[in-house]
Amino acid sequence: MKKNIKTKTAIFPMPVLMIGTYNEDGSVDVMNAAWGMMLDMDKVVLNLTETHKTVENIKREGYFTVALADLAHMKEADYVGIVSANNTPDKFEKSGLHAVKSENINAPIIEEFPLCMECKFIEYQDSETGCGVVAEVLNVSVDEDILDDNDNVDPSRLRALVYDPFNHGYYVVGEKVGNAFKEGSSLK
């Protein structure tokens, strides 16, 4: 039997995304965002309000990075999500994370996170049903130790964090339980 509950975010899991930009003075800004996804094979969408320093940076610079947070850096990922760069301009330094400039775009790559998408800003949608930041993925870089023998990302090695909007928890992705596009074949 189902029970009706109050309307709330009910999509689980939600990715824990680390959005990296440069501030106007060249310092690094990074924020934690769970409201994001792939829009197309080479497009991402981030549901971020314009009140975020990160959105201001994205619109000004035109480039940013999106990294997947991992279990090994959960504390740092959470910290940059609960502290605003509008109030704590040096939050990146306080996080203990490290960045290098992308070779492809004018945006920082956070060294600790094993997978990073380098993005070019396309538009900001701010209507009532708009989705926020829309961008093209220009490059994806990964740490070699999360790749399998065929150079595909191995989720069990990535240990990506996902956010639980029901109870405000973090979980780790990694256990393979089936094969997409095959498990339902017997029902044809």
DSSP string for the chain:
-------------EE-EEEEEE-TTS-EEEEEE-SEEEEETTEEEE---TTSHHHHHHHHHSEEEEEE-BGGGHHHHHHHHHS-TTT-TTHHHHHT--EEE-SSSSSEEETTSSEEEEEEEEEEE-STT--EEEEEEEEEEE-GGGB-TTS-B-HHHH-BEEEETTTTEEEE-------TTTTTGGG-
| pLDDT band at residue 166 using 50, 70 and 90 as cut-offs | confident
Structure confidence at residue 3 as a pLDDT band (50, 70, 90): confident
Instruction: Report whether pLDDT(5) > 90.
Output: no
Q: What is the reported pLDDT for 44?
A: 96
Name the residue type at position 84. Answer: S
Domains of the chain: 14-187 (2.30.110.10)
Instruction: Decide: 81 and 19 in contact? Cβ < 8 Å.
Output: no
Model pLDDT for residues 57-100, shown as the tens digit of each residue: 999 999 999 999 999 999 999 999 999 999 998 999 999 999 99
- The pLDDT assigned to 105 comes to 98
pLDDT tens-place string over residues 98-113:
999 999 999 999 999 9
Q: Look at residue 147 and tell me whether its pLDDT is greater than 90.
A: yes
Distance linking the first and last C-alpha atoms of the chain = 29
Give the separation between CA 174 and CA 61, rounded to whole angstroms.
Answer: 34
Q: What would the pLDDT profile of 151-165 be if each residue is shown by its tens digit?
A: 999 999 999 999 998
**Interatomic CA distance for residues 96 and 55, integer angstroms:** 22
Backbone angles phi, psi at 57, to 5 degrees: -65, -45
